[in-house]
Homo-oligomer: A and B are copies of this chain.
Amino acid sequence: MSDDTPLRGPAIRGIPEGDNRERMICADCGYILYDNPKIVVGSVARWGERILLCRRSIEPRHGFWTLPAGYLELNESASAGAEREAWEEAHARIEIEGLLAIYDIPRISQVQLIYRARLLDERVAAGPESLEVRLFDWHEIPWADLAFPSNRWALQHDREAQASRDFTARINPPGF
């Protein structure tokens, strides 16, 4: 970074008084950013045997297929967030059945809460963050073109939960 590039906002590392971890602090005003991991909420939404996927119109992973999911907002319950994301990305009305899985991605400080859900209406349509949306039979799922490893985990965990009727919340596969 060159000398004439200003550091905007909390850009200096330091341990605040009474704390035991480094936080980001603003050099201009002393504001301390207590940053914490972010929560992603999403769903495996089924219409009969078919599953809703969205092809991303945004980075990262533009053009790849994903489950409808996104950041939980302030003052929003996690299941309401998963319903909102299905609506925003696929104009899909869904009903949450229960928690399918919790995936930890500590490398990027993300906790994903993925719900089992059913579509209340077969009609879906791409929202602004999707190029297209579609219901896939299991044998049609574009495994090689999924956006994120956790998409694959969730699809397989949902399949397994539906077959076994064991709805214990799943976690990351071993080694991930």
Contact = CB atoms under 8 A, between A and B. Distances in A.
A136 interface: no
Given A26-B28, A37-B73, A76-B109, 6 more contacts: A37-B76, A75-B107, A76-B106, A78-B102, A99-B171, A168-B169
Nearest to A128: B20
Given A73-B21, A106-B76, A167-B168, A10 B31 contact: yes
Nearest to A31: B9
27 contacts: A8-B29, A8-B31, A9-B26, A26-B26, A26-B28, A26-B31, A28-B28, A28-B29, A29-B29, A35-B74, A36-B72, A37-B76, A39-B111, A72-B111, A75-B109, A78-B104, A78-B111, A79-B104, A80-B106, A98-B168, A98-B169, A99-B99, A99-B171, A102-B102, A111-B113, A167-B168, A168-B169
B37 A74 contact: yes
Interface residues of A, number: 40
B77 A36 contact: no
**Number of identical monomers bound together in the oligomeric complex:** 2
A38 interface: yes
Interface of A: 6, 8-10, 21, 26, 28-33, 35-39, 71-80, 98-99, 102, 104, 106-107, 109, 111, 113, 167-169, 171
Contacts of A80: 106
Contacts of A38: 36
A8 B36 contact: no
